[in-house]
Structure 1
Amino acid sequence: MSNLIARSKFCLTAAMVLLVHSWIGATAENLRYSPVSRDVVETRLVKYAGNNKQREATLKQMFAEAGCDDQHLSEQPVKGSKLPNVICLLPGSSDKVIIVGAHFDRVSEGDGVVDNWSGASLLPSLYEAVKIEPRKHTYIFIGFTDEEQGEVGSHFYARQMTRDQVAAADAMINMDTLGLAPTEVWASHSDKRLTGALAYIAKQLNVPVTGVNVEQVGSTDAEQFSDRKIPRITIHSLTQETWNAHILHTSKDKLSAIRLDDYYQTYRLLAAYVAFLDQVASIPATPNPH
């Protein structure tokens, strides 16, 4: 098989030095966040069973159990889909926003654990990691419908955003196909500031992260936000080896394909990352009232 997966140079290079200087003081040790235990992450991962309608209901229930109440948990009807996007809103002190998303739908082959219950089931755990701490950004956690049908849910969500909502969005973090290997980032389709921040916090945590570009594999929900000029980053776990194993969209996409140690390390990194972005992403100064 020809090489469809391309490794990318991914580190804190000289081009990022000025950004790093602005992050001094924001380290893993003083980040305000509360990651859930490995048991919680794995318990949510094994709730993958069922068709897409059942998975949507399971994701909504997991958000509710994580503490996202009826006032902040909603279903967004999506034009062109029989199922809604699932949205959990976590308000912050400013109008700036960080979007964290993953699609919950699956294809008919296999169990759809890797693609993409691995991403969707982390959403409630990431919500829990930041929900009790003071924060500047409003977090919007979204389970997208029908990514497998052409990114229908993410396209609808991104296109219905107003100009003000687009301007308020500092970052879109997309999770797709996790746990096959240590954390990877689609570097060529991710904002350089966001990838630099990921590399920085990964080094703080001593968690491996590599740039692996997957242009020849397909697209992802993050591209819908890129089309609106919103900074985005896609986190995945594909390598040439795991791609050659023919796991995605086959009967091999099942729980046993997940490397649980790598999967929890990815969660640890992402929990710190979403908290870190709240501290370092741009927040305009609030003018004093006259």
Structure 2
Amino acid sequence: MKRKLSFSLIAMLFGLLSVLGGVSAQTTTYDPSLVHKNGAMAYEHMNYLAYEIGKRVAGSENERKAETYIKSQFERMGFKTEVQEFSYTRRGTAYNSSNIVAYKPGKSTKQIIVGAHYDSVDKGLGVDDNASGVGVMLEVAEVLKNVKTPYSIVFIAFGAEEVGLQGSNFYANQMSKTEIDNTVGMINLDSLAVGDNMYVYGSEGEDGFIRDQALEIAKKKKLNVGTNPGLNPHYPVGTTGDWSDHAPFKDKGIPIGYFEATNWEIGDKDGYTQTEKHGSIWHTSNDTIDFIEEKFPGRIEEHLSTFSILLTDLLKFMNKTSTAK
């Protein structure tokens, strides 16, 4: 398969990190130069999850393989990392899943949560939904690992999103009042690769500062990122629905930001129809790199690069003076 061949040309330097940093010899490593090209490292992570692991259905062996991969990547970067196990019941059957949590200290003890789910449905390979979000999160984590950010950052790969936001609900419900009060905001990354337009959403009112600052950065850097235009009265300008991992944090009163690629101007104008040419790609057999690159040449690279630049700068410069220490 061509994807596995291209991947092998870049990665798989076994044993190096066990000598240099004590990380497992089985950790997949990458050419460090990828970090200096926006979106390139995100692409490799996305490719690995989709083509080396495959479908990552919640509660499956492949979801566990993805957990191991993501944990090893955070550890390779030098982050304090833990796996948060949880179980859930669906249609009378019990399942196990997990969240992978990596902590990056910042200038302030206040924290920002950045999350992306790593499970997928049993159609396609989960490239857009949501290996793309995990890829961007891992790339940005690596870019920022030695950068003093205004706030501490908690990077979380959520399990079992596709079966009721199980991972994000579990994490949010474990948070103490002190931790909730200490959290400046939560930024969710979901389905970034294929939609016609790139968006950032946020909370309503003053709590929409994450979205607003992201839009300012996008304007300054001439990034092609906008927000929900509010054509559907059920979803006011700049907001979105409660269908992804931001929702449990929003319910706790934590301001949210949400990066996504879709098209709010077509279909029912609810953000579910991603493209004019081929409708929705997520949750279909078309959610593969091969299909997306054939039908939308260059789109994956453009989107991963854009979202990586935007998230990196947002985390480097985001401020909320009323909560900063």
1:255 Cα deviation (Å)?
A: 1.2
Name which of structure 1's ranges 186-195 and 233-242 shifts more when overlaid on structure 2: 186-195
Matched, 1:274 2:289: no
- Cα contact 2:85–2:97 (8 A) shared by 1: yes
Cα displacement (A) at 1:189: 6.8
Structure 2: 5+ residue stretches without partners: 1-34, 54-61, 89-94, 267-272, 294-298
Cα deviations by residue, 1:84-131 (Å, 9 ceiling, x for unpaired): 100110012432001000000000111001000100122221112222
Aligned amino acid, residue 49 of structure 2: Y
The structure with higher relative contact order (CA 8 Å, sep 6+) is 1
Partner residue of 1:171?
185
Q: Does 1:196 align with 2:212?
A: yes
- Distance in 2, Cα, partners of 1:86 & 1:168: 20
Are 1:102 and 1:123, in contact at CA under 8 Å, matched by a contact in 2? yes
Say if 2:88 is the partner of 1:77. Answer: no
Please give the alpha-carbon distance, in whole angstroms, between the structure 2 residues aligned to 1:94 and 1:66.
21
Of 68, 71, 87, the match for 1:57: 68
Q: Give structure 1 stretches of 5+ with no counterpart.
A: 1-34
| Contact 1:36 1:125 (8 Å CA) reproduced | no
Q: What residue number does 1:237 align with?
A: 261
Helix, strand or coil at the partner of 1:237? strand
Do structure 1's residue 90 and structure 2's residue 101 form an aligned pair? no
Are the structure 2 counterparts of residues 189 and 283 from structure 1 closer, same or farther at C-alpha, using a change threshold of 3 Å? closer
8 Å contact from structure 2 (residues 188, 259) kept in 1:
yes
Which of 199, 211, 218 aligns to 1:184? It is 199
Pairwise CA distance, 1:204: 1.6
Q: 2:249 aligns with which of 209, 225, 229?
A: 225
| TM value normalised by structure 1 | 0.78
Are the structure 2 counterparts of residues 58 and 275 from structure 1 closer, same or farther at C-alpha, using a change threshold of 3 Å? same
Structure 1 Cα separation of the partners of residues 151 and 213 of structure 2: 16
RMSD: 2.5
Is residue 290 of structure 2 the alignment partner of residue 249 of structure 1?
A: no
Percent identity between the aligned chains? 28
Relative distance call for 1:161 and 1:94 in structure 2 (3 A) is same
Q: Distance in 1 between matches of 2:255 and 2:283?
A: 28
SS of residue paired to 2:257: strand
Residue number among 265, 270, 275 corresponding to 2:306 in the alignment: 265
Instruction: Figure out how many residues of one structure are paired with residues of the other and give that number.
Output: 248
Distance 1:218 1:162, change over 3 A: closer
Secondary structure of the 2:157 match is strand
Counterpart of 1:54 in 2: which secondary structure?
Answer: helix
